[in-house]
């Protein structure tokens, strides 16, 4: 084997095996393996003592590994199972792996070739709610992206207890160390909470003190829990007092859907419904929704965007600079649910038009990413990285960069199969649509809607 042949072989082997880095927590996990009481023993001890210690140590390690497995449900990404390739519609000039979740499969898409590598398929089980997955540090972590710390070593979660007669509702906030599998309680209190995410100073969460009622949004507060002191501080709220009982919340609710980027949290102030509300269900007018920015350093609120009359608004995500990405639906009216059997909502509610997509760059300053004319582009998941802003859409993947939006690939339905209910389970979606259910309009996209689970790295 000459040096040229060796050089080529070396390069091929490296390419095939790839560049892998150990999980950041591996070193601490490894160093923590031996028992703390010291090795002891040694050659001078009797063999039966050494043997006994060895057995105990082995049991300790086995127990430790079992605890680690149980406590940390994160899944390592192996080389993945190749299940096929996307149909690439744009030739990308960079290489990266984009983590996605399609139904129960956690996968990475190799770009620019489009190969799909499935790392893990979640098991279907009753009573185990799944809020999504995020790919970070070479592992799949079964929590939404906002729950994961910036260094990807921990995630936060909240428990709420309710329904105990005579007792107040209680809530607690925990932080889970992914490598060690340990949980630390940071805060607990009487009331209802929802996690917002990690920001400056700790973990932010929405809190409704007990007795104020869940879901009404009439007294929501934002708190931040400090990891170092294990204490929580009141950051803002209650929200601006309501002059009169409204039919729906007319103030920002900092909970699911709130995005933290840098020192700011972005949330929606949903416009309240305007009476009259049809008795039998039907179209309901709403006040315009607004995008509210909270400065996490001082809790101050400011309005950054007000939707036009007759449109609805949502925050799909942020770009890599922290600009909110908004979707604006040209729906003039929202619909109260029908309350008579067989009655179906209007077709334009079941099959809404494509949204306008805007990037919010300043107070009432936006850059238009999509004008709503492309019926194929209906994003719900957004992630910004150094390549641009990635969007999902039913059956396709999109990228916005250098001022232009392009469809990157079509996703064959065979790559991500819709799960079937476990044996014996009743499917809530198995009902046959009523005869008057409107058919989908021509060009309305179908296919898997991938959730974007991390930046393309």
Partner 1 sequence: MADVAAAELVDQAKAGDRGAFDALVGPVIDPAFRLAFGMLHDREAAEDAVQEAAFRAWRSLGNLRPGTDMRPWFLAIVANQCRSTLRGRWHKVLKLSGLGTPSQGVEDPVVRGADLRRAIRQLKHDQRLALVLHFYLDLSLEEVAAITRAPVGTVKSRIHRAVVRLRPQLEAEEVFG
Point out which residues bind partner 1 (CB under 8 A): 1, 5-6, 8-10, 12-18, 20-23, 26-27, 29-39, 42-43, 54, 57, 61, 65, 75-79, 81-82, 85, 110, 113, 115, 117, 138
Smallest distance, partner 1 to C-beta of residue 357, A: 31
- Reported as half-sphere exposure (CB side, CA atoms, 13 A), residue 401 has a value of 17
Nearer to partner 1, 8 or 308 (CB): 8
Nearer to partner 1, 42 or 403 (CB): 42
412: number of Cβ within 10 Å: 16
Smallest distance, partner 1 to C-beta of residue 16, A: 4
Nearer to partner 1, 358 or 456 (CB): 456
Collect all residues with Cβ–Cβ distance below 8 Å to 336 and sequence separation of at least 6.
277, 278, 281, 282, 283, 284
**For residues 125 and 129, what is the distance between their CA atoms, to the nearest angstrom?**
9
Nearer to partner 1, 25 or 197 (CB): 25
Collect all residues with Cβ–Cβ distance below 8 Å to 195 and sequence separation of at least 6.
146, 147, 156, 157, 158, 173, 203, 204, 205, 206
Smallest distance, partner 1 to C-beta of residue 32, A: 7
Q: Are 187 and 231 in contact (CB under 8 A)?
A: yes
Widest distance between CA atoms in the chain? 89
Smallest distance, partner 1 to C-beta of residue 17, A: 6
Q: Are 325 and 335 in contact (CB under 8 A)?
A: no
Nearer to partner 1, 5 or 93 (CB): 5
Nearer to partner 1, 23 or 333 (CB): 23
Smallest distance, partner 1 to C-beta of residue 121, A: 12
Residue among 206, 322, 227, 338 at smallest CA distance from 266: 322
Nearer to partner 1, 9 or 425 (CB): 9
Smallest distance, partner 1 to C-beta of residue 371, A: 36
**For residues 340 and 295, what is the distance between their CA atoms, to the nearest angstrom?**
45
247-281 as b/e: b if 16+ CB within 10 A: eebbbbbbbeebbbbeebbbbbbbbbbeeeeeeee
Smallest distance, partner 1 to C-beta of residue 40, A: 8
**For residues 13 and 3, what is the distance between their CA atoms, to the nearest angstrom?**
15
Smallest distance, partner 1 to C-beta of residue 53, A: 9
**For residues 437 and 454, what is the distance between their CA atoms, to the nearest angstrom?**
37
As a whole number of Å, the CA-based R_g of the chain is 26
45-81 as b/e: b if 16+ CB within 10 A: eeeeeeeebeeebeeeeeebeeeeeeebebbebeebe
Smallest distance, partner 1 to C-beta of residue 133, A: 16
Cis amide bond preceding 112, omega within 30: yes
Q: Are 181 and 71 in contact (CB under 8 A)?
A: yes
Nearer to partner 1, 68 or 444 (CB): 68
Residue among 427, 417, 425, 379 at smallest CA distance from 400: 379
Nearer to partner 1, 93 or 298 (CB): 93
**For residues 296 and 204, what is the distance between their CA atoms, to the nearest angstrom?**
9
Nearer to partner 1, 27 or 234 (CB): 27
Smallest distance, partner 1 to C-beta of residue 325, A: 30
Q: Are 394 and 378 in contact (CB under 8 A)?
A: yes
């Amino acid at each position: 084997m000459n040096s040229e042949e060796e050089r080529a072989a070396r390069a091929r082997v490296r390419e095939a095996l790839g560049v892998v880095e150990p999980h950041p927590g591996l070193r601490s996990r490894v160093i923590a393996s031996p028992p703390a009481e010291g090795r002891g023993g040694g050659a001078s001890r009797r063999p039966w003592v050494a043997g006994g210690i060895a057995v105990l140590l082995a049991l300790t390690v086995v127990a430790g590994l079992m605890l680690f497995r149980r406590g940390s449900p994160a899944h390592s990404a192996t080389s993945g199972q190749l299940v096929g390739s996307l149909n690439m519609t744009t030739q990308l000039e960079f290489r990266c792996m984009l983590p996605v979740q399609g139904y129960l499969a956690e996968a990475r898409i190799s770009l620019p070739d489009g190969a799909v590598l499935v790392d893990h398929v979640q098991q279907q089980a009753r009573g185990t709610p799944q809020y999504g997955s995020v790919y970070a540090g070479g592992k799949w972590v079964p929590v939404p992206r906002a729950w994961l710390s910036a260094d990807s070593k921990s995630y936060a979660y909240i428990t709420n207890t309710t329904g105990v007669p005579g007792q107040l509702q209680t809530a607690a906030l925990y932080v889970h160390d992914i490598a060690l599998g340990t949980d630390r309680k940071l805060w607990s209190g009487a009331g209802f909470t929802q996690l917002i995410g990690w920001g400056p100073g700790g973990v932010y969460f929405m809190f409704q003190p007990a007795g104020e009622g869940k879901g009404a949004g009439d007294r929501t507060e934002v708190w931040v829990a400090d990891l170092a002191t294990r204490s929580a501080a009141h950051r803002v709220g209650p929200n601006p007092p309501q002059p009169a009982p409204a039919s729906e919340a007319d103030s920002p609710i900092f909970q699911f859907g709130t995005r933290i980027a840098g020192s700011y949290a972005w949330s929606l102030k949903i416009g309240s419904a305007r009476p009259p509300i049809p008795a039998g269900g039907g179209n309901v007018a709403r006040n315009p929704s607004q995008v509210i920015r909270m400065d996490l350093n001082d809790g101050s609120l400011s309005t950054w965007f007000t939707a036009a009359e007759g449109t609805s608004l949502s925050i799909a995500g942020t770009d890599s600079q922290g600009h909110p990405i908004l979707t604006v639906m040209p729906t003039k009216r929202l619909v109260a649910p029908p309350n008579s059997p067989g009655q179906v909502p209007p077709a334009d509610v079941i099959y809404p038009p494509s949204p306008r997509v805007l990037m919010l760059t300043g107070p009432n300053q936006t850059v238009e990413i999509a004008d709503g004319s492309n019926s194929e582009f209906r994003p719900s998941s957004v992630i910004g990285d150094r390549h641009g802003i990635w969007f999902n859409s039913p059956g396709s993947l999109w990228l916005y960069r250098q001022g232009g939006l392009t469809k990157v690939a079509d996703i064959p339905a065979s790559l991500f199969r819709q799960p079937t209910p476990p044996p014996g389970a009743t499917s809530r979606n198995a009902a046959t649509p009523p005869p008057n259910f409107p058919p989908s309009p021509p060009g309305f996209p179908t296919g898997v809607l991938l959730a974007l689970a991390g930046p393309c790295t």
